[in-house]
Structure 1
Amino acid sequence: MDASEKLIADTLSRHAADAPADDHLLAVVHARLRRRRTGRSIGATVLAFAAVATAITASHSLTTELRTDPQVARPGAPAPGWHWESYKTAQVQVPDSWTQYISGPAPCTTFANSAVPSVGRFNGWLGKYGYTCEDAVLPLGRRAPYLWFNDVQAPGTKRYDAGWTEETRLVGGTKISVLTNDDALRRRILDSARPITGTDYYGCPPTDLGPHGTGLDAKEQITSADVCEYWHGSLVAGSQLGAGTASAFAQRVNGSPEGSRSPRAKGCGNIDQRTYVVTLHGRAKSDSVWIIADYCITDRTVSTDDGITQRRADRGTLDLIQQGVHRPIQPSDIFDPVRPITPPNR
């Protein structure tokens, strides 16, 4: 054996002496295999978790990007001493003392009580005829604060004499104007304005849905009612009735004779034809009655429909709901059918 062969033999002998026994060697091999399998499982688990986390993150990011602000289906109760007023697609809070209702253009309220703030609605009862209204603002002696829906002025702020300011905002497509000599009050009123995205505070949608009740229950104990008024299908105003008036209304409807709508007088227009939806709230359920107030009906009855039964009620039934906001001062003394004047571009 030469020197190189002897060196190789000595090296192999030393490694053989240091090598583990057979049973120990087998255990080491199994342990290493287990570690490799565990490592692979952990790696797979980490990869799977990373994939799930990525999916969750991607889903959250996508949801956040697609999410829109929630729509308020119905606003909450007004501030103490205030109440909600609504018209078409907008609603706003005003002080409870603002109870003088006008149907016509602002500021032509010369016949109104200047000591009482007004809530006006520029309705279209008179069709093609205009209104005689040439003043931009009334003289101080006849001037009173007001809130006006949908008048002719453009959105913006106009300042008048003696600290009076009129501000107009567009809310939900409907103009709201407030005239006061109190800047804080004006801002508070306008800041409370909200578009009607579901129903107004009184449960009124912006559009008349027609008869949709399930029939009145004559035995139901009525606790209150919501009234929604419409003209040509658009919301005019909403209000509430107390238990006494609501119960009297339900009794009159249930006691009215059944029958479809009476015929209209020939040649009579539809200037003042309006519809009402009265939702009667009882202890167990709520029922709706749809009403047509048509002054061209020959027998002067009022057509009601609770979704099951049509009836012909008398005018006394209508009088129970045509109160307050539903019976505004009409601009008859400023209506000029001979030479109508369009309201000025205020």
Structure 2
Amino acid sequence: MDDAELERAMRDGLERRAALADDSVPVTDRARTAARRRRGGRIAIGLVAASVAAVSLVGVVLDDDPSRPSTSASDGGSAADPGAAGWRTEYWADLAVDVPADWGWGSAPPVCGPRASRTVDGRRVVAFDEAVPYVGRPLAQTDMCASLDGPPPAPYVWLGADVETGTVDLGDDWVQETVEVNGSRLTVATDDPALRARILGSARGGAACLSEVEVSGTLDHDGGVDATRQPSGLRVCVYRTTEAGEAVARLAYAAVLGAARLASYRAARGAGEQPRDQCPSADVVESEWVVLEQVTDDGTVTDRDVVHLVCPGIDLEGADLGGFETVRLMPEMVAPWAVGGVPAVVYGPSVSSPGFADYVIGGLG
């Protein structure tokens, strides 16, 4: 069985598991939690992740094709500390921390862990004991979790994990240390004290994106948008709510991509359809948004779009998270920015989303 056949077999198996899954488990509730855009007298459409396994199937996944370029920090796949070669910066709420650029991504307690789900080049990690260092967030990515007795197979960093501050001896010189920075928990586990100190010492306040956004509020940074400037990069800000009806969406991931990906996104965006209401007959429950900001070298925003993923579309020049009139989301509009850790953080639309039955991002159909 070659790699493509193995991938198809895995996806078929996960689809079967999703069909049988109990959608009443707490982690499913977290996947479904959202802020609702209400339109009276219409049928409500909730998030379509029927289970954690289903979430892994419908996520915005565009890096499974090995012919696509790498998404490591060296080619602009994620925001990197310009003064630290071989490292990148990861963001969660108002926390920023530097990690080795070749680490992958995964989940963190209480959702799942310790286990990587994706390598830095986008490959899915399917073995529980595969030694892939990773950055984990408390976001569901799989229903296949395992608890470990003894040290983990590889180092990890958890952002916002539900663990107590302090240190834990994991055995064989492995130590897990958790601190609180700017209201978020940061956990580092490794058998290398110098590496642990380096990561913990880099923790600071985040500056790439707004750390939180009121669902009904403005997205403007100080100074707003300056359309007279020429952008040089594309800033990707992923926001999520964690409780049903929550008024505030918090930053789950951020990256600044380079000029080539900015150009690709601008070209796809310009070729899109005219904006329209993608779900004209439904109330929509949303829990995640991707805010795309075209930025100059000094971080000035020159244009801002908001990606909606339940009724898939892009709110061009969106001022908030509640826009209705969007350009229909197509794979070519997603490919430039769905790199790095985005496939491990964004659940994305489903084939059952209105207007989305004719294609699935990532070719999972």
- Relative distance call for 1:313 and 1:91 in structure 2 (3 A) is same
Name stretches of at least 5 consecutive residues in structure 2 with no aligned partner.
Answer: 1-79, 117-124, 242-248, 348-365
The Cα offsets for residues 198-229 of structure 1, whole Å up to 9 and x where unpaired, read as xx2xx201013645465868xx8653211111
Measured after TM superposition, the shift of residue 170 of structure 1 is 0.7
Structure 2 matches for 1:117-128, cutoff 5 A?
117-123=133-139
**Structure with higher RCO (Cα < 8 A, 6+ apart):** 2
Q: Is the helix fraction higher in 1 or 2?
A: 1
- 2:211 is matched with 206
- 1:100 is matched with 105
- 2:91 is matched with 86
TM-score normalized with structure 2 length: 0.56
TM-score normalized with structure 1 length: 0.59
> Partners of 2:280 and 2:158 in 1: how far apart?
33
Measured after TM superposition, the shift of residue 99 of structure 1 is 2.7
Contact 1:211 1:290 in 2 (8 A): no
Structure 2 matches for 1:1-346, cutoff 5 A?
77-102=82-107, 104-109=111-116, 111=126, 114-123=130-139, 135=147, 137=148, 143-196=153-206, 200=207, 203-208=208-213, 210-212=218-220, 214=225, 222-232=231-241, 233-263=249-279, 270=286, 273-281=287-295, 286-295=301-310, 297=311, 301-307=312-318, 311-316=326-331, 317-328=333-344
Measured after TM superposition, the shift of residue 248 of structure 1 is 1.1
> Partners of 2:191 and 2:139 in 1: how far apart?
26
Measured after TM superposition, the shift of residue 144 of structure 1 is 1.0
Measured after TM superposition, the shift of residue 255 of structure 1 is 2.7
Larger radius of gyration: 1
> Partners of 2:264 and 2:85 in 1: how far apart?
28
- Relative distance call for 1:80 and 1:153 in structure 2 (3 A) is same
How many aligned residue pairs are there? 238
Name stretches of at least 5 consecutive residues in structure 1 with no aligned partner.
Answer: 1-74, 332-346
Percent identical among aligned pairs is 22
The Cα offsets for residues 237-271 of structure 1, whole Å up to 9 and x where unpaired, read as 1102121111111122233233244117858754x
Q: What secondary structure does 1:144 align onto?
A: coil
Contact 1:168 1:177 in 2 (8 A): yes
> Partners of 2:306 and 2:163 in 1: how far apart?
33
What's the RMSD between the two structures over aligned residues?
Answer: 3.6
> Partners of 1:124 and 1:210 in 2: how far apart?
28
> Partners of 2:212 and 2:276 in 1: how far apart?
23
Contact 1:150 1:174 in 2 (8 A): yes
Measured after TM superposition, the shift of residue 307 of structure 1 is 4.5
- Relative distance call for 1:176 and 1:182 in structure 2 (3 A) is same
